[in-house]
Amino acid sequence: MRTNLLFVCSGNVDRSPTAEALLKFDCKYEVKSAGIDEGAPVQVNRDLLDWADVVFAMEELHKKAILRMMTEIRDKIIVLNIPDRFPYGSPKLVRLLIRRLRSNGITVPYAAWDVFLEKEMREDILEKRRNIQGKCECGATIVLAYDGEKVCQNCGKVYGRKHVQKTIDRIHLPSSYWSGSQDNQEKQLESDVERRGWG
């Protein structure tokens, strides 16, 4: 039997829809989101609050608004303490949601991380590949470019595009970066997200 989760923020535009998307395809949960503002696409109401097994409020003000509507559900409200300063799907928002949900016993599936973070992670990988140093046959150091040929400034030897790409792939970022178990993938993402200062 699925657990019904309701995420509540102000406008139901950024925070609660991001949280909903993170758990949308987890078969353990039925997930919905709503906002307390009158102009919210989905406005929180008594039916939604009755439906929910757990209500995640982004801030204390949302909890207070909910309690004004239904005081009897106090025990099933959890405040995540996520401020309204992140756009929908932003890495910092995703990171915060993953942390706060985990601290409340809910693990976000790796596939959901992938949806929001893969683009940024791959951009980071490509940036690394643009600045990789290699060695020419003459012993000189050359900076390799993934998107073109390279000429050694010392001896003039030309390295073609395929050679450059093969060299970069050999000396940097193993092909296993996106393979392996889900635990290993999550650890890699945790490490990289921390390093980039998203958390």
Closest CA to 59 of 84, 93, 94: 84
> Do residues 82 and 150 both lie within one domain?
no
Residues 12 and 71 in one domain: yes
Range of the domain at 146: 118-180
Q: What are the CA-CA distances from residue 180 to residues 84, 101, 105, 173, 188 (Å)?
A: 36, 24, 25, 14, 10
Spatial distance between the Cα atoms of 63 and 128, rounded to a whole number of angstroms? 44
Q: What is the CATH number of the domain that holds 74?
A: 3.40.50.2300
| In-domain check, residue 199 | no
pLDDT digits (tens, 9 = 90+) for 129-167: 555 566 677 777 766 554 455 667 777 777 665 554 554
Q: 77 lies in a domain?
A: yes
- Domain contains 195: no
Query: When comparing pLDDT for 111 and 107, which is higher?
Result: 107
Is 97 within a domain? no
Residue 158 lies in a domain: yes
Q: How far apart are CA 63 and CA 69, in angstroms?
A: 10
If asked whether residues 141 and 69 sit together in one domain, one would say no
Gap between the Cα atoms of 14 and 18, Å rounded:
6
Q: Are residues 78 and 149 in the same domain?
A: no
- Which pair of structure tokens corresponds to residue 8? 């509540």
Q: What type of residue sits at position 162? A: K
Residue 52 falls inside a structural domain: yes
Tell whether 11 and 78 lie within a shared domain. Answer: yes
pLDDT score, position 179: 42
Are 10 and 83 part of one and the same domain?
A: yes
In this prediction, residue 59 has a pLDDT band, given cuts at 50, 70 and 90, of very high
Answer whether residue 186 is part of any domain.
no
**Which pLDDT score is estimated for 175?**
41
Let me know if residue 126 belongs to a domain.
yes
- Predicted pLDDT at 196: 47
Residues 6+ apart with CB under 8 A from 149: 158, 159, 160, 161, 164
